[in-house]
Chains A and B, each alone.
Chain A
């Protein structure tokens, strides 16, 4: 099984800050990597797929990069609506999620 490890587990940042979340796969997954945002009491929402392709309607302040086993999600200028938990997911071999990164607004 492919394991996905995210860091940090929690981060607290101010509005306007640049925020980066890292996701590491236990083996290469090529570019089959997605990012989801989940708010409390809601279902996850697809932000990015194939490492860097923004889903329809996702603000351009979100971006993704990486390949192989190392990937990042960047929010260029954190907004109040960006609070929540972010999950990476590989879909190279079945589907596996990272444990999540909780983003709090200072």
Chain B
């Protein structure tokens, strides 16, 4: 079955950088769009970034544009989120997620278990 396993979360100081990884298994990673979504108790669920199956299309939420970069390595079945200039309001549980449709960027289907990022001095 689909498995998405995030890693790389932790405590980081404001202004610093962090890279999250998501290793996928149980499906053909190469043909699905992939997402990062974050969740906080206060702001709820917030879509962060999405990348098409082939990496040619990327979109970012305005709140992270210019600071976060989504990427993927299809040879390693891995999705990444490079986060820089981190702020306190980036503190959240970060989920990796998969699109429902082959080759598309449509609706989020399967989710990982999440990795917690805490931005604090």
Binding site for B on A (CB under 8 A): 1, 32, 34, 42-46, 49-50, 55, 87, 89, 91, 94-100
Contact = CB atoms under 8 A, between A and B. Distances in A.
Interface in B70-95: 95
B114 A46 contact: no
A44 B59 CA distance: 21
B59 A94 contact: yes
B13 interface: no
Contact of A97 (B47, B106, B110): B47
B44 A97 contact: yes
Contact of A91 (B46, B106, B113, B114): B106
Contact of A44 (B45, B61, B106): B45
Contact of A100 (B44, B106, B107, B112): B44
Contacts, number: 49
Given A46-B107, A49-B107, A95 B95 contact: no
B114 A43 contact: yes
Contacts of B62: 1
Q: Is the interface of B mostly helix, strand, loop or mixed?
A: strand
Interface residues of B, number: 21
Contacts of B46: 97
A81 B61 CA distance: 33
Contact of A46 (B35, B61, B109): B109
Interface of B: 35, 37, 44-47, 50, 59, 61-62, 95, 100, 106-114
A62 B61 CA distance: 31
B100 A46 contact: yes
B44 A95 contact: no
A32 B101 CA distance: 14
A94 B111 CA distance: 18
A45 B107 CA distance: 12
A94 B109 contact: no
Nearest to A100: B44
Contacts of A34: 107-108
B47 A96 contact: yes
Ranked nearest first, the 5 interchain pairs of A and B with the lowest CB-CB distance are: A43-B111, A95-B47, A97-B45, A49-B107, A34-B107
